[in-house]
Amino acid sequence: MIRTRFAPSPTGYLHIGGLRTAAYAYALAKHSSGEFLLRIEDTDQKREIKGATQKIFDVLEKFMNWDGVVIQSDRAKAGVYRDAALKLVNSGHAFYCQCQPRNAKEQGFSTTLRDPCRDQHNTTGAVKLRIPDNETLTYNDFVLKHEVSWNSNDVPDTILLKSDRLFATYHLAVAVDDNFQKITHVLRGPEWISSVPVHLLVHRYLGYKWPEVGHPTSILDPAGGKLSKRKGNSSVEQFLADGYLPEALLNFVILLGWAPKDNRELFTLDEFVKAFDINGFQKSNPALNLQKLDWFNAHYIRQKSDSELVQLITPYFNHPKLDEIIPLIKDRITKLSDVPSLTSFFTSNPPIPPDPSLSPDHLRFAINNYDRLIKGELIDNIKSKGWKVGDFFMSLRIAICGSRSTPPITETMLILGKDESINRIKTAFHEY
């Protein structure tokens, strides 16, 4: 049975790329009735953000279910990583290192791959993997669909267990826990590809079975550069708050880096699971195209029933007649947060901008013939007065909504009610 996992670390919000990885891992497992698990990689207590784990659960829950969770800090406290590291030390594949931690961001890349501590027989410190010389390390990547190899001489001795002797780094924890959770297929970001040779060795020395491993692409900025987390355009939570529907986000994101043979575009999660195929993975990095996301979102909004939309829109715009307003704006919404700007004239009398299209003659006619106008009985009369129908309604539109682009104006007047509608027309009439 296929078992996959999504393994976020609680150091911030759920990233759009993380959601995509989760969706791929979910589909890979569920396509063959397998299991999809979660693992919280919280082995760096310093970087952990309080409440982030719960937030990840809450957000991910809107997209998919999972079959189990492992929390790495619990595992660390139980000593599983320490035991694994000790085993490696005892078998001679790891050693204690007492060097000061460094920080690559401040110090630049390092050039020494062999740690001097490897020959010093320390009995305390962090545990580091002893990389063998002149060995070819190879794995098959099921996303890239070919083998990738390294000469072990290019692979650095790598910390596996921190000097607290309890918490592991990613490289040890991932091996121990993938083994523990019986993960058959690992799907993770491409930033991990260069540490695969280390994982290969850890698995071998610990006697673990090597899983299928695949690294999908990373999502780039709309401009094609790096997707910066600072810009805030990569947080799933933020997209949700902006009024993007989960089904739209999911559909959008799975198609960044994956495509079916027939190039179908619209997928629910279940449909994606059914259609999922490992051969559909793309190898080159996609750019985030928000226009396409908007298209998906508008599409899924139009799929919603009016009563569903009442629920969805209420947090953005509340109005006693919302159920009547929705049919008027449904085709005009791109994202839920657009709604207030489409509907503000329902709540308050809008300022009337000076506009040459607004004709007092039109307004006077509308006031005097309101009831028949509302019933749509006056089109012929309007034409016979020599007015263009569009011009006539534009005058009303501006008088009532204060805007040149609005929902159909007679329907709008119906919702506003006769008194309010006539008041607004009169107000505009007197101003002109």
Q: Residue holding tokens 């005097």?
A: 368
Can you tell me which of 169, 251, 343, 421 binds RNA, judged by CB under 7 A? 169
CB closer to RNA out of 246 and 407: 407
Residue 135 within binding range of RNA, rule CB under 7 A: no
Q: How far is the CB of 384 from RNA (least distance, A)?
A: 16
CA dihedral 49, 51, 53, 55 (to 10 degrees): -120
Q: Closer CB to RNA, residue 224 or residue 232?
A: 224
Q: Which is nearer to RNA, 1 or 223 (CB)?
A: 223
Residue of 272, 274, 259 lying closest to 63 (CA atoms) = 272
Is residue 428 involved in binding RNA (CB under 7 A)?
no
* CA gap 28, 30 in Å, rounded: 6
In sequence order, the 6+-apart residues with CB closer than 8 A to the CB of 424 are 349, 399, 400, 416
Q: Using CB under 7 A, which of the segments 91-99, 177-185, 243-251, 416-424 binds RNA?
A: 91-99
3-state secondary structure of 358: coil
Window 52-71: residues binding RNA (CB under 7 A): none
Query: What CA–CA distances, in Å, run from 362 to 395, 403, 410?
Result: 7, 16, 14
Per the CB < 8 A criterion, the answer to whether 53 and 10 are in contact is yes
CB of 145 to RNA, least distance (A): 8
Among positions 283, 350, 422, 427, the unique one binding RNA when judged by CB under 7 A: 283
Query: Residue 109, interface with RNA (CB under 7 A)?
Result: yes
Of the two residues 232 and 408, which places its CB atom closer to RNA in the complex?
408
Provide, rounded to whole angstroms, the least separation between the CB of residue 308 and RNA: 17
The answer to whether 280 contacts RNA (rule: CB under 7 A) is: yes
What is the size of the binding site for RNA (CB under 7 A)?
91
Among 6, 7, 94, 250, binds RNA (CB under 7 A): 7
Q: Residue 80: how many CB atoms within 10 A of its CB? A: 19
Q: Does 186 bind RNA (CB under 7 A)?
A: no
Binder of RNA out of 184, 217, 343, 421 (CB under 7 A): 217
Q: Is 231 in the site for RNA (CB under 7 A)?
A: no
Residue 106's Cβ-side half-sphere holds a number of Cα atoms within 13 Å equal to: 3
Q: What does the block give as tokens for 374?
A: 């509302």
CB of 403 to RNA, least distance (A): 7
CB 398 within 8 A of CB 358: yes
Determine the interface stretch with RNA among 82-90, 100-108, 236-244, 364-372 (rule: CB under 7 A).
100-108
Please name which of 331, 329, 295, 355 lies closest in space to residue 415, comparing C-alpha atoms.
329
Closer residue to RNA, CB minimum distance, 206 or 374: 374
Chain position carrying tokens 């918490």 = 167
Q: Residues, the chain, total?
A: 432
